[in-house]
Amino acid sequence: MRELELLAHAKLNLVLRVVGVRPDGYHLLQSLMVAVDLADELHLELVPEGIELLCEPELGPAEENLAYRAAQLLAGRTRHGVRIVLSKKIPVGAGLGGGSADAAATLAGLNLLWQLNLSPAELQGLAAQLGADVPFFLGPSPAWVEGVGERVQPAEVELPPAFVLVVPPFGCPTPAVYRAYDRLGLGFARAGPPPRGATAWVNDLWPAAVVVRPELVRLRAQVERLTGRRAHLSGSGSALFVPCGTEEGWDIRERLQQGVEGQVFVARPVPAGYKVVR
Active site (catalytic) residues? 11, 133
> What is the CB neighbour count within 10 angstroms for residue 145?
27
CA nearest neighbour of 135 among 53, 18, 31, 266: 31
SS3 (DSSP) at 80? coil
Report the distance separating Cα 179 and Cα 217, nearest Å: 19
CB atoms within 10 A of CB 135: 30
- Picking from 262, 243, 54, the residue whose alpha carbon sits closest to that of residue 159 is 243
Contacts with 146 (C-beta within 8 Å, 6 or more apart), sequence order: 28, 29, 30, 31, 152, 153
Is residue 61 exposed (0-12), middle (13-18) or buried (19+ Cβ within 10 Å)?
exposed
Quick check: 70 and 107 in contact, CB under 8 A?
yes
Per-position DSSP letters for 100-158, written without gaps between them: HHHHHHHHHHHHHHTT----HHHHHHHHTTT-TTGGGGGSBSSEEEEETTTEEEE----
DSSP letter assigned to residue 91: P
